[in-house]
């Protein structure tokens, strides 16, 4: 089993900027040839990506087990199956998404026709993270290919087995003139963002996202940043506590808590806090048994360094359950922390691990104010059966997504745009939103020349202004 960052991913020479530019040049040449504009070509590219996912599913599952201890069921649902669903959805809707959209034109430009035509941007860079190394690299690729682009992919060096599968297998399915995979460390990523692309799509932490945006600004390259933040779950006294606890525990502890939309902390109404705590502890045991260390369904932390960070976050906090760890195995037991100091690092930093803080509150107004005082998260979850509570949380907070009585599963709905707001990210993808992210909405106007009224041209007559006001 891998031990943290000690086994590097296969790399291209970090200093070989010329080699990276040559790869980008190949992708640009393919785009300039015009063949990616054809809808049949795009469907074939999407089908080829789907074949990669289906035929290499066992290799993908093995790599995820090696990198993250991911169980096969989660490897399928959260990585292979989710991206296959995006492929099928894009293939089915490609003709509709690509259709020109007619718009009305004022009298002053009549006779004339105006429309918006989605066109590909060109050659794009997709920088993937380590926590879902296939889904979060290939789902944006689905959108990029559907929109008619060529793409360079950079998987994370912290998931080296997954990077190896992408490097060695993806090129057997997709034309290297259309999709290139470049593995390597920070040096490679820094070199790539110095090269002009037509769009950069980054998934990861906010600190690196800022650096990507600064580098992109040198070339005025548009960016999509999928970041994260502390996604809260609010539980009120009308909720089904058993279901709420089970769903929150599942969403928090899948992939050992290393999920950007996982509930990062829970606010529970004080009147039901004790019952909820008991249900939450019971749910953890139902999911992973008395000894999660031996559970085949419980993952591992990506590296020893990340595990040490999590252990520091736990220092000084009351743990209802969990806290056990094994550094050399990158293991941290599912851990519930009760009523931590809201100003502690545990409540200020995105945890990104199997730790769930729970804080009691007295009134819904108090809970809403708690969330609203903090940066808007990628997701916000509410467990309640009261319409008034749903409306109050919806209108009193900001977030990239808002889910009532469940967690995480919003990602399974292709046509729900996924993305953050403020420090949790910018831009959207999945379904049509992804297609539009990687498209240029090109404005078209075509006019005839038989009618050319003189009132639009100087010198203006006294009556011209009145006529122009009517025609606009």
Is-catalytic flag, 260?
Answer: yes
DSSP state string for 374-411: SPPPSEEEEE-S-HHHHHHHHHH---SEEEES-SSGGG
Q: Rounded to 10 degrees, what is the CA torsion of 375, 379, 385, 391?
A: 50
Q: Are 11 and 181 a contacting pair, CB within 8 Å?
A: no
Among residues 56, 74, 260, 350, the one annotated as catalytic is 260
Beta-bridge partners for 232: 265
Query: What sections of 271-402 are H helices per DSSP?
Result: 273-288, 304-314, 345-348, 364-372, 387-396
Token pair belonging to 40: 């049949």
Please give the Cα distance from 346 to 352 (Å, whole number).
Answer: 11
HSE, CB side, 13 Å, CA atoms: give it for residue 339.
7
Q: Are 156 and 128 a contacting pair, CB within 8 Å?
A: yes
Q: Are 335 and 355 a contacting pair, CB within 8 Å?
A: yes
Token pair belonging to 49: 């990506």
Among residues 226, 315, 318, 366, the one annotated as catalytic is 226
DSSP state string for 128-196: --SSSTTHHHHHHHHHHHHTT-EEEEE--TTSHHHHHHHHHHGGGTS-TTTEEE----HHHHHHHTTS-
The DSSP bridge pattern shows strands 223-226 and 425-426 to be antiparallel
Beta-bridge partners for 326: 331
Q: Which residues are catalytic?
A: 226, 260
């Amino acid at each position: 089993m891998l031990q943290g960052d000690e086994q590097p991913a296969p790399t291209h020479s970090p200093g070989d900027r010329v080699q990276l530019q040559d790869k980008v040049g190949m992708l640009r040449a393919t785009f300039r040839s015009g063949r990616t504009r054809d809808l049949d070509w795009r469907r074939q590219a999407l089908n080829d990506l789907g074949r990669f996912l289906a035929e290499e599913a066992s290799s993908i599952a093995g790599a995820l087990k090696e990198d993250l201890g991911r169980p096969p069921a989660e490897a399928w649902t959260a990585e292979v199956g989710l991206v296959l669903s995006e492929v099928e959805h894009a293939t089915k809707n490609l003709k509709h998404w690509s259709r020109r959209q007619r718009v009305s034109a004022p009298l002053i430009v009549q006779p004339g026709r105006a429309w918006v035509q989605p066109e590909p941007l060109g050659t794009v860079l997709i920088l993937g993270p380590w926590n879902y190394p296939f889904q979060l690299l290939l789902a944006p690729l689905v959108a990029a290919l559907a929109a008619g682009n060529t793409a360079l992919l950079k998987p994370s060096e912290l998931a080296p087995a997954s990077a190896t599968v992408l490097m060695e297998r993806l090129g057997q399915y997709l034309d290297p003139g259309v999709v290139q995979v470049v593995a390597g460390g920070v040096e490679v990523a820094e070199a790539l963002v110095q090269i002009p692309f037509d769009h950069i799509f980054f998934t990861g932490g906010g600190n690196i996202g800022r650096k990507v945006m600064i580098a992109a600004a040198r070339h005025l390259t548009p960016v999509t940043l999928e970041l994260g933040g502390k996604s809260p779950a609010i539980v009120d006294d009308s909720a089904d506590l058993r279901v709420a606890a089970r769903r929150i525990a599942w969403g928090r502890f899948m992939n050992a808590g290393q999920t950007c939309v996982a509930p990062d902390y829970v606010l529970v109404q004080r009147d039901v806090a004790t019952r909820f705590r008991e249900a939450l502890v019971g749910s953890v045991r139902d999911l992973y048994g008395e000894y999660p260390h031996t559970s085949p369904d419980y993952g591992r932390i990506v590296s020893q360094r990340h595990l040490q960070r999590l252990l520091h976050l736990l220092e000084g906090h009351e743990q209802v359950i969990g806290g056990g760890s094994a550094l050399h195995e990158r293991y941290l037991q599912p851990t519930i922390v009760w009523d931590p100091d809201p100003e502690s690092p545990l409540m200020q930093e995105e945890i990104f691990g199997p730790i769930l803080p729970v804080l009691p509150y007295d009134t819904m107004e108090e809970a809403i104010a708690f969330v609203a005082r903090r940066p808007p998260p990628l997701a916000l979850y509410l467990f309640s059966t009261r319409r008034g509570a749903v409306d109050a949380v919806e209108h009193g907070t900001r977030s990239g997504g808002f889910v009532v009585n469940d967690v995480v599963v919003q990602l399974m709905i292709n046509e729900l745009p996924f993305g953050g707001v403020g420090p949790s990210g910018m831009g959207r993808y999945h379904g049509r939103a992804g297609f539009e992210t990687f498209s240029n909405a090109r404005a078209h106007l075509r006019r005839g020349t038989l009618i050319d009224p003189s009132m639009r041209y100087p010198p203006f007559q006294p009556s011209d202004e009145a006529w122009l006001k009517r025609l606009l």
